[in-house]
């Protein structure tokens, strides 16, 4: 019987290595005592290097407080968090579902950590929600714009007629004010609507488009903000409307500058992606353009509505920049995704190389 138990115990590591779920066993100090093969793959480390390492040292950033893991051991209660953000030391970011369970192993208090990466499933769900949100927001805005523009035209026309009848210059100033405010509101509505279709496409180097946007915004860039350009020089040219994509870059970079305030680092990064899915279609190649700022991060209350028109986390902001940027990228069959944590927010633009077509 004893030999049977020993054999079963020896088989446990082999069984754990067959699991797709990452398994860590931590001691009472939260140091790693065991990690299965999936755990080694998750943190890109060998089992030999992981054993004895403090759990927090495996990540550059972890959104889950380690105090909660100590509480699990102290109170002998399990913990599950389905939305734990991790950043590894190679800067790879991921979201995992984490379960922590207290256990007694070899008469020692231990903690069993199960981690399952949920990025892909969540990304597909977010894409579907984002697509529906964008369509609903555009329909709402177009309906609202129609209802606003009609009375605005009447107000402006009446003010013009009234001004023609008034001989008093002082009174004409009031009619002029009515017309100017009506024009301002009409301009706001036009900006809400944005372009309804892609402009004339041309083959361009995306780095030249980014450079033009930077040149415009550098005039008002705070002296304490550093710009890092991390480009892939082999990135193929894109067939896009350069003016519209430049507007996207202007909006995103301007937002990044404003988020950081007087100091920080803005990183502009380009990469080529292979076999990437965008709204259910898979493309052989896509251009990946990242705008990364070192600001405080996106408030949690805004994350789900960030791309809605008139939603802004900045006092005095119009809330149109991100909405227009998303609409313009969407017209190029692309998308914008946001990944944010305190100290780093990344706006990732994905633009497919459409001439290669979608893979089926």
* pLDDT tens track for 215-255: 989 888 888 999 999 999 999 999 999 988 998 999 899 98
**pTM value > 0.85:** no
Residue 247 in tokens: 């507007």
Q: Give the pLDDT confidence score for residue 288 in this predicted structure.
A: 95
Buried b (16+ CB within 10 A) or exposed e, 39-48: bbebbebeee
Give bridge partners of residue 285 from the DSSP assignment: 274
Q: Is-contact 198 332, C-beta < 8 A?
A: yes
Q: What angle do CA 11, 12, 14 make, to 5 degrees?
A: 70
Residue 187 — pLDDT band, cuts 50, 70, 90?
Answer: confident
Pairing of strands 224-230, 263-278: parallel
Question: In DSSP terms, which residues pair with 29 in a beta bridge?
Answer: none
Share of residues in the chain with pLDDT > 90 (%): 26
Cα separation, 31 vs 226, whole angstroms: 38
Cα 341 to Cα 11, 193, 292, distances in angstroms: 40, 31, 11
Inform me whether the pLDDT recorded for 143 exceeds 80.
Answer: no
Model confidence at 7, pLDDT cuts 50, 70, 90, reads very low
- Report d(CA 79, CA 269) in Å as an integer: 37
Q: Is the pLDDT of residue 170 over 70?
A: yes
Mean pLDDT taken over the chain: 81
- For residues 157 and 179, give the distance between their C-alpha atoms in angstroms, rounded to a whole number: 8
Q: What is the secondary structure of 60-97 as a DSSP string? A: SEESS-HHHHHHHHHHT--EEEEEEEEE-TTS-EEEEE
**Average pLDDT for residues 301-318, to the nearest whole number?**
59
Model confidence band, residue 319 (pLDDT cutoffs 50, 70, 90): low
């Amino acid at each position: 019987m004893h030999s049977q138990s020993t054999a079963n115990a020896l088989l446990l590591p082999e069984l754990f290595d067959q699991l797709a779920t990452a398994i860590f066993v931590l001691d009472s100090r939260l140091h790693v005592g065991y990690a299965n093969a999936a755990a080694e793959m998750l943190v890109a480390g060998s089992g030999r290097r992981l054993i004895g390492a403090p759990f927090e040292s495996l990540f550059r950033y972890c959104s889950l407080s380690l105090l909660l893991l100590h509480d699990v051991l102290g109170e002998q209660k399990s913990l599950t968090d389905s939305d734990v953000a991790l950043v590894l030391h190679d800067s790879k970011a991921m979201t995992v579902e984490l379960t922590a369970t207290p256990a007694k192993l070899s008469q020692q208090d231990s903690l069993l950590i199960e981690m399952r990466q949920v990025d892909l499933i969540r990304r597909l769900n977010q894409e579907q929600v984002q697509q529906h949100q964008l369509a609903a927001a555009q329909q709402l805005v177009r309906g609202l714009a129609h209802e606003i523009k009609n009375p605005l035209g009447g107000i402006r026309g009446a003010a013009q007629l009234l001004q023609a009848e008034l001989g008093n210059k002082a009174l004409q100033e009031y009619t002029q004010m009515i017309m100017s405010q009506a024009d301002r509101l009409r301009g706001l509505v036009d900006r809400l609507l944005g372009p309804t279709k892609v402009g004339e496409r041309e083959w361009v180097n995306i780095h030249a488009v980014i450079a033009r946007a930077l040149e415009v915004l550098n005039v008002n860039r705070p002296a304490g903000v550093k710009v890092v350009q991390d480009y892939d020089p082999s990135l193929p040219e894109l067939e896009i409307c350069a003016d519209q994509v430049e507007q996207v870059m202007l909006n995103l970079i301007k937002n990044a500058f404003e988020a950081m305030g007087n100091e920080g680092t803005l990183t502009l990064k380009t990469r080529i992606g292979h076999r990437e899915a965008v709204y259910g279609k898979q493309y052989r190649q896509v251009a990946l353009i990242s705008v990364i700022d070192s600001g405080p991060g996106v408030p949690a209350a805004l994350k789900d509505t960030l791309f809605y028109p008139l939603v802004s986390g900045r006092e005095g902001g119009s809330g149109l920049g991100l909405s227009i940027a998303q609409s313009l990228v969407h017209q190029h069959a692309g998308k914008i995704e946001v990944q944010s944590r305190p100290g780093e927010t990344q706006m990732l633009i994905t633009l497919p190389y459409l001439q290669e077509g979608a893979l089926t």
